[in-house]
Structure 1
């Protein structure tokens, strides 16, 4: 009971700490507490709490041991005297702890698990100017101290709440200095002790507060210095600071790069200088200007291994000197380039035909080109003396070179008023000598004026001539009967003559509005609706076609007329459209086309009829020939002489008629592309002899001799033997028919490297030149004064068969000298086979 009373006495004294009471058992430890039943555990500084807990624990532990010892040794009286002595010692420790706790104004907040916090401490602790004891409820009843945002700066309040949360969750301790909106400082310390989270808030006062404020000032100054260094490092020009002894105390990044020092510390340790000794001495001796600012010296230095031109300036600062070097190499280069360009501009202006004169703010001449001196014919010495603008006008008036003015003074003042104008002014000057000048007065940005004198006399003459030429051209186009239209590069109608307007029914007002090509086409399609030619014309005018070349198309109008349109590209993207009425020629062409179609249909009908009739005649004719041969053989009975003669005539006529029918059928097959050659190896000599045997009777009857000129090496060639014999038979028949008795017919055969040539030559009357071009046409028969008559199919069949073999036929003839027909056959067939000579 005495120990309990001692402990309770310590808690009533207001000690804000955590005490671990050592008891013989757990029940006794639980009995130790505050009068209100709360555990004896309050927040203190870490070292104070620890020391106090250890001291009190030792004291209690020693007291308990003493009591036990006295109880065992001396009995109850002894234990009571020992307990009283222990309580006296505890009271002394309590007094010392309380004195330690109340040395500063502070508050301790403790949390046990998830329970409500317990707040203990000095009631005089102020929350941003309001003492904690003055708040309703006092130290134990207020929770305003936990509303950190109400008496701390926002940043500190948020940081403190985060750290308290970490302390309560993970037991992470912290120490932080907080700031109130009024500028006061509060020290916060958090620590976990025996499962409890303790927060100690202590107001800083006296030297400690002064130390915190000094530290904050030092940190702010350090931040400012760091920001200043960062700003200097961002400057692309080398910057340095020298101490009172002239040594480098600071250089920026640009300085390090300029001297190629690697790092700032390395440059400062080595004292690497950007300028040489003489340059630094010049900079140190340089005096400030009239306005107190340092004068920059233009020096030469090596920057990053390259020689550069620098503007260097140094000024005295507290604790030394500061300097900066500005690289003006590019500026000097630009300045030199500017001077060269100005010189080039002066030379260029001297070459211009436009007169140029520049005057400064004082209206004095500062520049003039050669064209200006030539225009006004002024003395060079006078112009070089930089005369005033008014003086030049007065001299030109005396020389009667200015426009005649009734009030020259007012006119001169109006001209000189351009110096006060904001924008350029221009206007014509009509000179007494008939010239017209366009005068432009352009104010200079730095003050003064620039005159441009442009002679428009020639331009006005050309414009007048151009207007007259355009008027004459328009009148000429209007006299044309053909519609003509001119479109510009923008696709607008620039010109259209009267014929164009009449044909396409476009009024003159629409032409003057310069409509686009789409509007013109829309108007024209009302009478010529076919869209295809108009699309071509549109593509030509608008330039959408890949190549701008001449375009021709035909337009059909609803009234039956036909127009041929020609679109021709012109210079500068223009397009000229011309229309020609071709209705008459188109009608003639249509009539001829229809007649030709009718003739072709008639020819086709004729060929069909002949082919059909030929087939129909061939069968009965074959029967007639067969029965005639049967009668001629007298197998059915003997014939008298006259019957035998009649039978021979019937047989000959039938054979001739069959040959004609076969020729007609062959031509019909050729026209139908159904005749195929039966190629084989044809012996030339035997084929010629076989054809000659076919005309032996006619040769004897006409008393005509036949000569065969066939060399032994003529050999053979690939061909259709039957058709070759038919070719030779027809040629020999014609030669015999056009020859006289006693004349000779010759057959020649020649072989070359590429072809076989067969030629039939006669010495008859010949063929006229106007007939020779038609002898190969069908049904062309000419007697030419001979007894020979035919249906005109022989030479036509010859040409057809030769061409089927891939050869060609030529004919040469002269009246009274005979005719020569040559047939040339290729030795190589279409499939590449080639016959060798035997």
Structure 2
């Protein structure tokens, strides 16, 4: 203890001050010893010095007084020497004693100072605001000095105090144990803040001085306590920060932190991997961003309104666009964010939503009413059939009503079956929420409906109710029974023969008409009769019996396909039969007597063949006459032109008029003959188109010149619209001019006097379109259907009746080009004939007549 060893304790506590004082005291004792030695030497020296002096003095005395003997002189000299030495020694001793007394007084003062310093050190060590642990090399057992306040929670007991984990926080105890071990083994000094279980902070200092290891616990002041708390908080925050950073670096979600300027200052490994960087430092150094510019701008704009940003954004990772749930929060010194990959979750969620929506849509289309109640007996789903079945308003049914309350409401509205004990019936019904297996009930409603109710318990405690309306089913079963009887009666009275064979080839059903048509005896027509027996009896009644095919269709393994045919019996009857495969594997044969219809059909075919041959003869006659007329017409036209020449001789006005009429009539007749020949060429399929570049303006101008006289005769104007027309297109220019001439001639024939005919051409995506419009009386619908037929000539308000070949020629020539012709006409809105030529002509092909 310090009381038992004051000097070591003082040295341990105060340091080097006492050591210096002890050194000075030791020096003074040594000085005193040296001074004593010196006095003896001086005394001896004085004696030695005084001996000659005494001897000389004795000689002088002897000379002065002769009676003195030599012995006396020697004695006197020795006495004088001894007295001188004694005197000198006395003087030296007196001086040394004074010096030693002064030094002793000084030493006593210093010892008093040391005792006071020791008492002060012991008083300081024994204060209740610090405690010291001292380890000495020769004594491994530590010594404890001082004590700590009770409010710190530090125990006074030695063993309890040295067990740091009992009264210090685990983190502080572990840090202190490690620091003391390093201090004792390596002499590493430390200073740390320890936190007790009583939430008190202690300053702990560790030092190694000479042979002692000292650890001091100090209870700090309030200001220091606040600083200590801040240190502890800093230590805790640093540890938590390192833990969080480690966690953020370990998770497989990109995480980033930015400084106040928005630059990246830390990213985790997942971020670096997502941006294809070598490591986190490379990602920060290169400024690689996980989100796109637009997404970062959206985050910055959101931060201006509020610090937290939460939204699902898309970005490209490894070449694939993925969805991430981004959470970014901004603080005073920067921001931090994390992105969770929601691609798989979004896909699953979307698929789940689609499945739920699909199931809901499917159930809405089902006629069976379905309703699902959760574990709290609240309605969570219903389909349209459920709402229609109970006739519930949408507002009430959408409010998630309770199952029991819904039953009470249906009962009050008299929609549920009447029960003698309603409460027990309802409790029995709602016991489905506690059941394991489905329950089934049959309700007969007051309105006459029959409902099959199935309560299917759900794994999470709910129940799905299925309400199947059996009213129609029961009604259908009744109707089916009635229909079967009616069908039997109907089949028995049908004129059509019907027989049904099963998969085994035996009769399942037949009617009397079948036996009558084939002459089968009643004994053979039984439900157990095999088809081979029927075939044996029917084969003899037909010239070409179809019963071999019937047997194959009934008993064979060929493809089950329906067939139809016709058979003529030896008695002259004609039966039309049908082989129909039924869904249940049976085969039905039907037979209809069509003898009268066949006879009529044969007569009609003979008549049609006669008409076709007559039409062919007519066409051949017209073609022959056309060829035969062409040569005489050419001669007539030639002689008429010859008579008109001045060199032939003068003609009277009447004769000249007759010649002009003969020429014009011959020209019209020649045109008709040429048209007939062209149509004959088209019909023969030998007409060839001379495809070349057709100039639109030139073709229109040529056609207009041909009808200029007729336009002038009736004061009709021709308006040409070619603003949207192409300069040229590919086609047969001669036939195009002929088409336009026929269209204009037809328009002139029907246009009123002093009116305007419009010829337009424009370029369309499908090709080049020509249209000719006149303000004539128009064509009724029944006339439009026959306008393209040959020799169909109708005046219909026109000036003269033609041969009826103009539009036929137009249609044939346009279709030879691969185009089409249509007429837009109506009463009091004139007629427009529209011809469409393709950009690429179809070439030489046969025109449809």
TM-score class normalised by the smaller sequence: 0.3 to 0.5
When normalised by structure 2's length, the TM-score is 0.41
